[in-house]
Amino acid sequence: MKKVLITGGAGYIGTELTSLLLESGHEVTVYDTLMYDGAILIPFFKDNNFKFIKGDILDTEKLSEAIKGQDVVIHLAAVVGYFACDKNKRLSVDINVKGTKNVIDCMTEDQLLLFGSTGSNYGKVDGICLETTPLNPSTLYGETKTEAEEIVMAEHKNSIAYRFATAFGVSPRLRMDLLINDLAYKAVTDGCLVIYQSTAMRTFIHVRDMAMSFLFAIHNADKMKGEVYNCGSNSLNYSKRDICEMIKEKTDCYIHYNDFDYDKDNRDYEVSYDKLQSLGFDVSVSVEEGIDELLSVYKVLNFVDQRYLNTGFPEIN
């Protein structure tokens, strides 16, 4: 059993991860500002191994006290995604970069740091991205996460960083700004999709597999620490058109492909996951399975609340 602190533990990945770690017998402390929603944490309080601290990673005194005595720190707290970062530029830099530096400064050398980085660090790349591929972020989100990752790997040797593929799927704290989640929702509610740059390649990972990857890192830390890993699956590299056609087959929605205009978030890359898979990790949930569960949820629940768009709060520039 490990004592694990999750910064941003009330978020999309954190809530899924908290459940998995508790089920695996670990003691879990969630450290979160509850910027979006706190009610989703209620079921965890029945577990004696769960603890919650309402706190900000910019508050170094409170953060230091929370980290003290932990075996593992999983750093997820961030302003995430193109739109959220573009809407909250100053806050994005403060949390994603300065906040990450605060986490490191509060840790001791023997504490393991697992950092949730992103494939957005690659930007637009020709060829297949390896961990050694030069980073070329094209958005503020990618730029801040790239800088944060560099700080982590340079200043805390007992660290593992995951450059995650684009997340999808259902979580207790659902996000609808993610590509697959968003397209599935629009197919159900609007009956049509308008797609730019349909040939652009993306790579995907279900949120449940993201949580599993952190558990895998805890169990294999000795042979993984000090390294960056692409986290996803070679079988989940798809174009936007591929995803849309899967959704169309299940919903009969209308799709208009407009390849003369561009998305503001113009990532386009394929990624190799050989390095992590060679250690024994692979994903368990396919894109098609993830789409099925999203459609089931969207047909039952009404997600008009701006919090689910991940851009509803706050608006600070």
**In this predicted model, what pLDDT tens digit does every residue of 102-129 receive, in sequence order?**
999 999 999 999 999 999 899 877 889 9
The CATH number fitting domain 179-203+234-271+279-309, selected from 2.30.40.10, 3.40.1280.10, 1.10.357.10, 3.90.25.10: 3.90.25.10
CB 286 within 8 A of CB 168: no
> Which of 39-48, 92-101, 121-130, 179-188 bottoms out in mean pLDDT, i.e. has the lowest?
121-130
pLDDT score for 50: 98
User: What order of strands is seen across the sheet that includes strand 237-239?
Assistant: 166-168, 201-206, 237-239
Q: Which pLDDT score, from 0 to 100, does residue 126 have?
A: 81
Nearest to 22 by CA among 42, 52, 53, 50: 50
The pLDDT score that the predictor gives to residue 300 is 84
Q: What is the model's pLDDT at position 317?
A: 35
- Residue ranges covered by each domain of the chain: 3-166+204-231, 179-203+234-271+279-309
Provide the pLDDT confidence category of residue 307 given band limits of 50, 70 and 90: low
pTM score, two decimals? Answer: 0.93
Distance of alpha carbon 122 from alpha carbon 10, whole angstroms: 27
pLDDT digits (tens, 9 = 90+) for 201-235: 889 999 999 999 999 999 999 999 999 999 999 99
Q: Give residue 228's pLDDT.
A: 98
Average pLDDT over residues 291-298: 95
Percentage with pLDDT > 70 across the chain = 92
Read off the pLDDT of residues 49-70 as tens digits, 9 standing for 90 and up: 999 999 999 999 999 999 999 9
Cα–Cα distance measured from residue 161 to residue 119, given in angstroms and rounded to the nearest whole number? 11
pLDDT of 42 reads 95
Extract the tokens encoding 93: 């830099």
Distance CA 105, CA 126 (A): 36
Nearest-5° Cα angle at 234, 231 to 239: 100
CB atoms within 10 A of CB 137: 19
Per-residue pLDDT for 176 more than 90? no
C-alpha to C-alpha distance for 30 and 27, rounded to whole angstroms: 10
What are the pLDDT digits (tens) for 133-168?
Answer: 999 898 999 999 999 999 999 999 999 999 999 999
Contact 92, 84 (CB under 8 A): yes
Partner residues linked to 27 by β-bridges: 3
Nearest-angstrom CA–CA distance, 118 and 210:
11
pLDDT above 50: residue 315:
no
CATH superfamily name and code, 3-166+204-231: NAD(P)-binding Rossmann-like Domain (3.40.50.720)
